[in-house]
């Protein structure tokens, strides 16, 4: 027999303030027992599309909305025991809004450039799987953060 965690799915957003300048969160994660540096993310609500969830979570966690948001890819986080599928988006042309963090969330924001993030992975400072995926995606897909797919991330 196997125990399977049924999960409604989630989104993760790479918010770019400018090419290669990523907005990240720092928050305490009880399961890990420490603060983690992460890209904004959240769980899909019943009947909610991944795109609407990404837009909602971005504002809730960062206080920014995106004038442009684009789906990148989806993947299973732990298919050996969970149905959770996470949908990755990139958000650009950010505009300030009022953050609406949940009562139990204590999220601090900071920016980092792509190279700093990649060094953080190598040094063990970034240990969150979705954030590692996102940073490596940006590093290997130069056009991910540009408008209309033209140009480089930075």
- 3 state DSSP class of 135: helix
Whole-angstrom Cα Rg for the chain: 15
3, 6, 103, 122: the active-site residue: 103
Cα-based distances in Å from 123 to 26, 89, 93, 135? 17, 26, 30, 14
Q: Taking Cα atoms as reference points, which of 38, 18, 17, 20 lies closest to residue 29?
A: 38
**Residue 103 among the catalytic residues:** yes
Distance CA 121, CA 150 (A): 27
| Residue 119 and residue 112 in contact, taking contact as beta carbons nearer than 8 Å | no
Q: How many H-runs (helices) and E-runs (strands) does the chain carry? A: 3, 7
Of the chain, the end-to-end C-alpha distance in Å amounts to 49
Active site residues: 103
């Amino acid at each position: 027999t196997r125990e399977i965690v049924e999960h409604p799915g989630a989104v993760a957003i790479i918010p770019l303030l400018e090419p290669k300048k990523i907005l990240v969160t720092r928050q305490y994660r009880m399961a890990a027992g420490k603060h983690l540096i992460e890209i904004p993310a959240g769980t899909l609500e019943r009947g909610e599309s991944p795109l609407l969830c990404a837009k909602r979570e971005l504002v809730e966690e960062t206080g920014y909305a995106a004038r442009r948001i684009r789906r990148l890819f989806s993947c299973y986080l732990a298919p050996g025991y969970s149905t959770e599928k996470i949908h990755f988006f990139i958000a650009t042309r950010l505009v300030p809004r009022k953050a609406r963090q949940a009562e139990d969330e204590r999220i601090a924001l900071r920016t980092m450039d792509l190279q700093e993030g990649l060094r953080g992975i190598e040094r063990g400072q970034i240990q969150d799987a979705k954030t590692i995926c996102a940073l490596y995606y940006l590093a290997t897909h130069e056009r991910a953060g540009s408008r209309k797919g033209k140009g480089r991330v930075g």
